[in-house]
Amino acid sequence: FVLGTAVNSMIPKRDPAPWDEILHQYVNAQHLVDYAKLKQQDWKKLREFVASFGQRGSEELSPDKQKALLINAYNSMTMEWIVENYPVESIWGTQRPFKARRFRLAGESVSLDEIESRLREMRDPRIHAALVCAARSCPPLRRETYAGGRLDDHLDANVRAWLANSAVHQFHT
Protein backbone atom coordinates (compact mmCIF):
# COMPACT_ATOMS: atom_id res chain seq x y z
CA PHE A 1 0.00 0.00 0.00
CA VAL A 2 1.28 3.43 -0.92
CA LEU A 3 -0.58 6.56 0.00
CA GLY A 4 -3.15 7.23 -2.70
CA THR A 5 -3.02 10.23 -4.99
CA ALA A 6 -5.90 11.85 -3.14
CA VAL A 7 -3.98 11.56 0.11
CA ASN A 8 -0.84 12.96 -1.48
CA SER A 9 -2.52 16.11 -2.72
CA MET A 10 -5.03 16.59 0.09
CA ILE A 11 -2.92 16.24 3.19
CA PRO A 12 -4.65 18.32 5.84
CA LYS A 13 -3.04 21.67 6.58
CA ARG A 14 -2.59 21.79 10.35
CA ASP A 15 -1.87 24.50 12.85
CA PRO A 16 1.61 23.50 14.04
CA ALA A 17 1.31 25.43 17.34
CA PRO A 18 0.37 22.43 19.57
CA TRP A 19 3.21 20.33 18.12
CA ASP A 20 5.63 23.23 18.45
CA GLU A 21 4.64 23.67 22.11
CA ILE A 22 5.17 19.96 22.80
CA LEU A 23 8.58 19.99 21.15
CA HIS A 24 9.70 23.10 23.06
CA GLN A 25 8.46 21.77 26.39
CA TYR A 26 9.43 18.08 26.27
CA VAL A 27 12.50 17.84 24.01
CA ASN A 28 15.75 18.98 25.60
CA ALA A 29 18.86 20.48 23.99
CA GLN A 30 20.29 16.96 23.54
CA HIS A 31 17.13 16.03 21.54
CA LEU A 32 15.88 13.66 24.24
CA VAL A 33 12.17 13.49 25.07
CA ASP A 34 10.80 13.49 28.61
CA TYR A 35 8.16 10.87 27.82
CA ALA A 36 7.07 10.42 31.45
CA LYS A 37 6.28 14.12 31.87
CA LEU A 38 4.66 14.32 28.43
CA LYS A 39 2.40 11.35 29.19
CA GLN A 40 1.42 12.86 32.51
CA GLN A 41 0.83 16.45 31.34
CA ASP A 42 0.13 16.73 27.62
CA TRP A 43 -0.68 13.33 26.14
CA LYS A 44 -4.17 14.58 25.25
CA LYS A 45 -2.72 17.55 23.32
CA LEU A 46 -0.38 15.20 21.43
CA ARG A 47 -3.21 12.74 20.65
CA GLU A 48 -5.41 15.57 19.37
CA PHE A 49 -2.61 16.89 17.14
CA VAL A 50 -1.96 13.41 15.71
CA ALA A 51 -5.71 12.84 15.20
CA SER A 52 -5.98 16.11 13.27
CA PHE A 53 -4.02 14.54 10.40
CA GLY A 54 -6.89 12.11 9.88
CA GLN A 55 -9.11 14.70 8.22
CA ARG A 56 -8.90 15.34 4.50
CA GLY A 57 -7.37 18.62 3.43
CA SER A 58 -9.29 21.07 1.30
CA GLU A 59 -6.43 22.53 -0.73
CA GLU A 60 -3.38 21.28 -2.56
CA LEU A 61 -0.12 22.10 -0.86
CA SER A 62 3.24 23.00 -2.35
CA PRO A 63 5.78 20.15 -2.34
CA ASP A 64 7.74 21.76 0.54
CA LYS A 65 4.62 22.28 2.66
CA GLN A 66 3.50 18.72 1.91
CA LYS A 67 6.95 17.40 2.86
CA ALA A 68 7.02 19.41 6.11
CA LEU A 69 3.53 18.23 7.08
CA LEU A 70 4.41 14.60 6.41
CA ILE A 71 7.59 14.87 8.48
CA ASN A 72 5.65 16.49 11.34
CA ALA A 73 2.96 13.81 11.04
CA TYR A 74 5.52 10.98 11.10
CA ASN A 75 7.43 12.39 14.07
CA SER A 76 4.35 13.26 16.13
CA MET A 77 2.81 9.85 15.41
CA THR A 78 6.02 8.10 16.46
CA MET A 79 6.13 10.12 19.66
CA GLU A 80 2.45 9.43 20.35
CA TRP A 81 3.04 5.68 19.91
CA ILE A 82 5.89 5.76 22.42
CA VAL A 83 3.82 7.76 24.91
CA GLU A 84 0.90 5.36 24.48
CA ASN A 85 3.20 2.45 25.34
CA TYR A 86 5.27 4.26 27.96
CA PRO A 87 7.17 3.06 29.90
CA VAL A 88 8.89 1.12 27.15
CA GLU A 89 12.62 0.61 26.76
CA SER A 90 12.59 0.70 22.97
CA ILE A 91 10.12 1.29 20.17
CA TRP A 92 11.07 -2.21 19.05
CA GLY A 93 9.46 -3.51 22.25
CA THR A 94 6.05 -2.47 20.94
CA GLN A 95 3.72 -4.29 18.55
CA ARG A 96 4.69 -3.72 14.88
CA PRO A 97 5.80 -0.12 15.47
CA PHE A 98 6.34 0.81 11.83
CA LYS A 99 4.17 -1.63 9.88
CA ALA A 100 0.77 -1.43 11.62
CA ARG A 101 -1.80 0.94 10.16
CA ARG A 102 -2.71 2.60 13.43
CA PHE A 103 -2.84 6.21 12.28
CA ARG A 104 -5.10 8.18 9.96
CA LEU A 105 -3.83 10.56 7.32
CA ALA A 106 -6.19 12.44 5.01
CA GLY A 107 -8.99 9.95 5.65
CA GLU A 108 -6.93 6.77 5.17
CA SER A 109 -5.40 4.34 7.64
CA VAL A 110 -1.62 4.43 7.35
CA SER A 111 1.50 3.03 8.95
CA LEU A 112 4.67 4.94 9.72
CA ASP A 113 6.39 2.94 6.96
CA GLU A 114 3.81 4.14 4.44
CA ILE A 115 4.38 7.77 5.38
CA GLU A 116 8.13 7.24 5.11
CA SER A 117 7.68 5.65 1.67
CA ARG A 118 5.69 8.66 0.49
CA LEU A 119 8.45 10.95 1.73
CA ARG A 120 11.09 8.86 -0.05
CA GLU A 121 9.15 9.32 -3.29
CA MET A 122 9.88 13.04 -2.97
CA ARG A 123 13.53 12.25 -3.76
CA ASP A 124 15.14 14.34 -1.03
CA PRO A 125 17.80 12.25 0.76
CA ARG A 126 17.85 14.71 3.68
CA ILE A 127 14.42 13.46 4.76
CA HIS A 128 16.05 10.42 6.35
CA ALA A 129 17.76 12.81 8.80
CA ALA A 130 14.39 14.29 9.79
CA LEU A 131 12.38 11.16 10.58
CA VAL A 132 12.65 10.16 14.21
CA CYS A 133 12.31 6.50 15.16
CA ALA A 134 12.55 7.10 18.93
CA ALA A 135 16.00 5.57 19.39
CA ARG A 136 19.27 7.24 20.40
CA SER A 137 20.86 6.32 17.08
CA CYS A 138 18.03 7.96 15.13
CA PRO A 139 18.18 11.49 13.76
CA PRO A 140 17.73 14.21 16.38
CA LEU A 141 14.21 15.40 17.09
CA ARG A 142 14.00 19.14 16.40
CA ARG A 143 12.68 21.38 19.14
CA GLU A 144 10.44 23.09 16.57
CA THR A 145 8.14 22.03 13.77
CA TYR A 146 9.26 21.68 10.19
CA ALA A 147 7.80 24.46 8.06
CA GLY A 148 7.57 24.73 4.28
CA GLY A 149 9.21 28.16 4.10
CA ARG A 150 12.23 27.10 6.18
CA LEU A 151 12.34 23.44 5.19
CA ASP A 152 15.71 23.51 3.39
CA ASP A 153 17.40 25.16 6.37
CA HIS A 154 15.77 22.72 8.81
CA LEU A 155 16.72 19.65 6.79
CA ASP A 156 20.31 20.83 6.27
CA ALA A 157 20.67 21.50 10.01
CA ASN A 158 19.27 18.08 10.90
CA VAL A 159 21.66 16.29 8.56
CA ARG A 160 24.61 18.09 10.20
CA ALA A 161 23.35 17.36 13.74
CA TRP A 162 22.67 13.71 12.99
CA LEU A 163 26.07 13.12 11.43
CA ALA A 164 27.75 14.83 14.39
CA ASN A 165 25.96 12.51 16.85
CA SER A 166 28.47 10.00 18.25
CA ALA A 167 25.66 7.52 19.04
CA VAL A 168 25.05 7.16 15.29
CA HIS A 169 28.65 6.10 14.77
CA GLN A 170 28.47 3.58 17.62
CA PHE A 171 25.44 1.82 16.13
CA HIS A 172 26.13 2.15 12.43
CA THR A 173 29.84 1.36 12.07
Per residue in 55-90, pLDDT (tens digit) is: 888 778 889 999 999 999 999 999 999 999 999 988
Q: Find how far residue 15's CA is from the centre of its chain.
A: 15
Tell me the percentage of the chain whose pLDDT exceeds 90: 69
Beta bridge partners of 103: 110
Q: Rounded distance, CA 50 to CA 52, Å?
A: 5
Q: Beta strands 103-105 and 108-110: pairing type?
A: antiparallel
Confidence (pTM): 0.89
Q: What is the pLDDT of residues 16-47, one digit of tens each?
A: 899 999 999 999 998 899 999 999 999 999 99
With CA atoms as reference, report the closest residue to 50 among 13, 6, 19.
19
CB–CB of 46/80 below 8 Å?
yes
